Chain A
C-alpha cells in the first residue's frame, strides 16, 4: 500500500473554474502536510502547508485536512493556464520525521 496516494490525472479544467486535487495517506502518525507545485523540468515549489484539521486559505489556494479520514485536498479557485503543472502532496510523519511524497496529479487548465 502506497503511503501517500494521488490520482495521476490529468485533471482538465477550464480557465476560471475550481480545480480540486485530492490526496490520501496511510500513516496515522502524520502531523504535517504540504502541497508542492512542479512545472515540467523544474523542481517542486512549496505552495501550501497545513497542520490542523479544517481549511487553510492563501490567495486562490485552499488546503483542506481531515485527519479522521486521512484525507488532504487542495482547491485552486479561478484556475489559470499558468496553474497547469503537477501537484505533489506530501505528508510528514511525526515518528520518522520523513517527508513522503505522492506521485503527483497533473493539472491542465485550458483557455
Chain B
C-alpha cells in the first residue's frame, strides 16, 4: 500500500514570496491533516479535513495560509506572503477517519524562507 505522498521535498524562497505544497493521502483515507514542525518541536496541527470539508483550522494563520482539498482526495497548502518564521517542515498526514484512528505521515516538505 502506497504511503502519503508530498511534493516538493524541499523549497527555498525569499520572504514575501508565495509557495504551495501538495499532498496525496493513503488511498481510502477520509481524513487529511497538515502539520507544521519547527526544529526541536513536535508537529503542530494547522488544518484538518474530513473528505473535502474543514474540521479544524483554528491554528491556521488565515491571513497568509490557505488550504483546500477538492474532491476529497489531494490537498494543497499555500503560503502567501511567506515570512521568515514560516521556515519549518510541513507534514501531511492521513487517517481512515477522525477520532482515534492512527495517523500516518508523509515525508514532509522542508521550507526555508530567506
Residues of A participating in the B interface, judged by any CB pair closer than 8 Å: 4, 31-32, 34, 36, 42-46, 49, 51, 88, 90, 92, 96-99, 101-104
**Secondary structure at chain B's binding surface: helix, strand, loop or mixed?**
loop
**Secondary structure at chain A's binding surface: helix, strand, loop or mixed?**
strand
Beyond A43-B91, A45-B105, whether A101 also contacts B100 by CB under 8 A is no
Total A-B contacts with CB atoms under 8 angstroms apart: 49
Beyond A31-B100, A44-B91, whether A101 also contacts B105 by CB under 8 A is no
Instruction: Please determine whether B56 and A43 come into contact, CB atoms closer than 8 angstroms.
Output: no
Residues on B with C-beta less than 8 A from A4 are 42
In whole angstroms, what is the CA distance A32 to B97 when docked?
14
Residues on B with C-beta less than 8 A from A97 are 48, 55-56, 98-99
Would you list 5 pairs from A and B whose C-beta atoms are within 8 A, ordered by A residue? A34-B103, A46-B102, A88-B43, A97-B99, A98-B56
Residues of B participating in the A interface, judged by any CB pair closer than 8 Å: 33, 40-45, 48, 55-56, 89, 91, 98-100, 102-108
In whole angstroms, what is the CA distance A49 to B103 when docked?
10
Instruction: Please determine whether A44 and B102 come into contact, CB atoms closer than 8 angstroms.
Output: no
